[in-house]
Amino acid sequence: MSMEYSTTTQTTITPHSQQPYITRTYPSLSQVEATIIQASEAQKSWAKVGLDERIKIGWKFIDEFQALSETTELGLELTLQIGRPISQVKSEFAGFLDRGRYMLSIASQSLADVPIEENPGFKRLIKRVPLGVIFIIAPWNYPYLTSINSILPALIAGNAVILKPSPQSPLTAERIKEAMDKAGFPKGLFNVLHLTPELTRKAVQNPLVGFVSFTGSVVGGRNVEEAVVNSSKEGKAETGFKGVALELGGKDPAYVRKDVDLDYAVGELVDGAMYNSGQSCCAVERIYVHESVYDTFVEKYVEKVKQSYVLADPTLPNTNLGPVVSLASAARIRKQVEDAVKAGAKKLIPEELFPEAKVGTTYVAPQVLVDVDHSMDVMMEETFGPIIGIQKVSSDSEAIKLMNDSPYGLTASVWSSCSAPFDDGEEGDGEDAFMKIADGIETGTVYLNRCDYLDPALPWTGVKNSGRGVSLSRFGYDQLTRAKSVHMKFSTPKSSG
């Protein structure tokens, strides 16, 4: 990521200009511990506040953040932190609000006591009780969208929250806190900490932290999980067996069937691969196309990429493709493409169409690769850039096999009018054909005719190296609470004799 570290501060570097933007000072370990203690004390009082009142304050937060999001300042500062074009930042604010509203709308039902059918003389129910202090570690690429998935549900469920933003996007967490304070959440309940890796580890291991939610890289997720596991080995058995949610990377595939609406699929899959310069965990990174439509699909896809993008300074209103986040990221993406070409892949987008994309800058041109296979990193390892590999397949079965041949499993998409039966020869209606494919794919979410989208009514989850745990939907509330069984007996059987 684009930032500079010292022993006491972090400085965010604006991706496109490589100039320092904002500096934050790290707290001491004692200050971190004091913040966690304060959060724990605030949570005990907050848990006693009625659910209806908590939800009411949550709606005030939505109003406050909406007012904040309508200012020009908020959009520009997001662009200067992460490099997304100014023309595209408001969609993240809208998504933040949509997810927050949905989770508030289902809170009463999701957190209500669950009664068990009556048994004469007994009453039984299951309560959802908060976990205590939730420590949330947020990424830089969608700092608002990913944070809201856990922050608001955690608070409404009766928890306290400590948010550690990425050093690439520190102001986003502070803006959320600004809206939280205006909404009336109690002092000490929601906290923002800018932390070094070592201070982050200490916070994860703190015994007052009841749950850790991490969104980021596979390496980062492993570090968080190991910090929890190793805390008992370091004489910190009081840490207990706290839960960890890991929302990690992806190498998300798409399969274009022979009965596809080509023009529609091309437009959606170009956007799904290139939006935010491909810097999304659920961006489309590899496409498998049925051989009967392969040539036409590739031709249309390449033309769409050539015609659709202006790669330039992200603060300019006409720019729709910005830089990647850092010089290191740009170099890694270029190397992945170069390695694929050396191994036999072919580049279809002329580099001269995007003159800003010079070596030594954070500007990376969009690229379409063909003649690719799974011996190449570009089809196996996360790219996190505006690069797509397209591979020909001969059947649904081959597509499923290749889609599953990956260490990741976050989302996958199928593009089809569902007019052709599954290629095992069985007949059935269109939905049956899609479901046979969907059932065979190892993934957290499978789409038909859409991609790179998160519906808050559905659980967001991954398999394999894409992580574990659930956010959003009613299952997201389950993750941020624990079940507490209540078993009451009202009559005592008479003793015999």
The residue to which tokens 């580099």 are assigned = 351
Q: Cα(289)–Cα(395) distance, rounded to whole angstroms?
A: 9
Q: Which residues are 191's β-sheet partners?
A: 162
CB atoms within 10 A of CB 428: 13
CA 471-476-477 angle, to 5 degrees, is 150
Q: Residue 146 and residue 156: Cα distance in Å, rounded? A: 17
- SS3 of 137, please? strand
**Active-site choice (247, 268, 285, 382):** 247
Bin 184: left if φ > 0, else alpha if -120 < ψ < 50, else beta.
left
Residue 412 makes CB contacts below 8 A (sequence gap 6+) with 252, 253, 254, 255, 403, 441, 443, 445, 446, 447
Active site residue 426: no
Are the CB atoms for 270 and 415 separated by under 8 Å? Answer: no
CA gap 169, 1 in Å, rounded: 10
Rg (CA), the chain: 24
Strands (E), 261-308: 284-290
Cβ(55)–Cβ(108) below 8 Å: yes
> In this structure, are strands 9-13 and 20-25 parallel, antiparallel, or unpaired?
antiparallel
In angstroms, the Cα distances linking 305 to 268, 302, 371 are: 11, 5, 18
Q: Is 230 helix (H, G, I), strand (E, B) or coil?
A: helix
Give the chain's length: 497
φ and ψ of 370, to 5 deg: -120, 180
Burial per residue of 85-121, b for 16 or more beta-carbon CB atoms within 10 angstroms, e otherwise: bbbbbeebbebbbbbbeebbebbeebbeeeeeeeeee
> Measuring CA to CA, which residue among 421, 3, 430, 482 is closest to residue 196?
3
CA dist 469 → 31, 205, 244, 250 (Å): 30, 19, 8, 15
First to last CA, the chain: 78
The two structure tokens encoding residue 84: 């997304």
The residues carrying an active-site annotation are 247
